[in-house]
Amino acid sequence: MDTLEQQFDVRYRYRVHLTEDALAPENDLLARTLAADRAARPRVLVAVDRGVLAAQADLAARVESYARTHALDLVDAPLVLPGGETGKNEPRHLERVLAAIERGGICRHSYVVGIGGGALLDLVGFAAAQAHRGVRMVRLPTTVLAQCDAAVGVKTGINAFGKKNFLGSFAPPWAVINDLRFLDSLSVRDWRAGIAEAVKVALVKDAAFFERLERDAERLLHRDRGAMRALIAHAARLHLEHIARGGDPFETGSARPLDFGHWAAHKLEQLSDYRLRHGEAVAIGIALDATYSRLAGWLADDAHERILALLERFGFELDVPELGEGGLLAGLDEFREHLGGELTITLLGAIGRGFEVHAMDEERVRASIDRVRARPGSGSGQPAARPCASGAER
């Protein structure tokens, strides 16, 4: 039998920009991003998150006026999609994006621009990855979580069969434009939720960043733009570095260090019927796996206390009913199945130092749940601190 061997590398390159007011007529960053082929008028389909539109009523008009100023060929009025998990849970929204791409004649040299939270970008990105086997996608993330984590990476996806991100693809974006102005209308909840992903990446990779988050906690709670800008810039950088230099950008192995705390988080989101935001569930997952690391003797007591205290300072509710209902442990096997191969969970040896294990002791997981639930302030159902905010609580 003859055997031919095939091997090639594909190089990806994309930029993650941090700007203010990307849709202001004088800000030409987005226009330059869409002018890569120097086509006279780049064809563009814009998809927007209904939650952003509700909070920033002039958004569609700003998009249309920007397109006129910069000679972009908007193939249609912006496509409005539900924000949050609804868009990822109901397959008809994926069809709607695909139909809009088809109707608009978007080709592989045209662009889909997504404006919204991590969920909207996952949905639109997945559609863009499928149409014509992949059309260019520019992401304009509008939440803290998406700007520092979800939008800067290479993954897209929607939920199916009751499982998070069951359908999806690895599809690097054409570019990411983080616009701090979008964050102005975020609810207190979503401002806070994204901070959990920054705490996560600090814990597994960067002790100095964790210390900075401790120092900046008050400013972040008071919605200080400078502190948030620094958080987003650094967390995004750590995510990008991991993808580029971690040796496994498309996650073919079983390890996924940036998913620290996520085995529990994904299951809690599902068990709560998506009442919990991803970031809120991640905060609980971090608390559980830090506590597990403490109970196993890998993480020092004072480090464990600092981690839980910081999460509490940010106002995360660490005790939720789903923790007491059983069912969480099934998240371990679902996580293993999602990653493939052997169970691989990241735990903490110290603040800033994650390491991997391939088995979790169920009794110790239960003890971790009990320890987290028993913390003063976590059982009240009330966040430990109430951040001041300019955005309304929704």
Ligand X SMILES: NC(=O)c1ccc[n+]([C@@H]2O[C@H](COP(=O)([O-])OP(=O)(O)OC[C@H]3O[C@@H](n4cnc5c(N)ncnc54)[C@H](O)[C@@H]3O)[C@@H](O)[C@H]2O)c1
Q: Give the binding site for ligand X (CB under 6 A).
A: 49, 51-52, 55, 83-85, 88, 116-120, 122, 142-143, 145-146, 149-150, 153, 155, 182, 185-186, 190, 193-194, 277-279
Shortest approach of ligand X to residue 11 CB, angstroms? 20
Would you say 55 or 271 has its CB closer to ligand X?
55
Shortest approach of ligand X to residue 388 CB, angstroms? 17
Shortest approach of ligand X to residue 56 CB, angstroms? 7
Would you say 128 or 303 has its CB closer to ligand X?
128
Q: How far apart are CA 297 and CA 291, in angstroms?
A: 10
Would you say 52 or 75 has its CB closer to ligand X?
52
Query: Which is it for the CA torsion 304, 309, 311, 316, positive or negative?
Result: positive
Would you say 275 or 371 has its CB closer to ligand X?
275
CA-to-CA dists, residue 348 to 24, 92, 298, 367, angstroms: 43, 40, 7, 17
Long-range CB pairs of 213-216 (<8 Å, 24+ gap) are 213/310, 214/306, 214/310
Shortest approach of ligand X to residue 35 CB, angstroms? 26
Shortest approach of ligand X to residue 151 CB, angstroms? 8
CB 356 within 8 A of CB 346: yes
Would you say 278 or 294 has its CB closer to ligand X?
278
CB 51 within 8 A of CB 121: no
User: What is the three-class DSSP state of 43?
Assistant: strand
Shortest approach of ligand X to residue 85 CB, angstroms? 6
Shortest approach of ligand X to residue 18 CB, angstroms? 15
Shortest approach of ligand X to residue 58 CB, angstroms? 13
Specify the DSSP class assigned to residue 150: I
Long-range CB pairs of 267-271 (<8 Å, 24+ gap) are 267/327, 267/328, 267/330, 267/331, 267/334, 267/335, 268/320, 268/322, 268/323, 268/328, 268/331, 269/85, 269/164, 270/162, 270/163, 270/164, 271/322, 271/325, 271/327, 271/328
Would you say 175 or 303 has its CB closer to ligand X?
175
Of 235, 213, 105, 124, whose CA–CA distance to 173 is shortest?
A: 124
Would you say 104 or 279 has its CB closer to ligand X?
279
Would you say 126 or 210 has its CB closer to ligand X?
126
CB 52 within 8 A of CB 46: no
CA-to-CA dists, residue 207 to 143, 202, 229, angstroms: 24, 6, 19
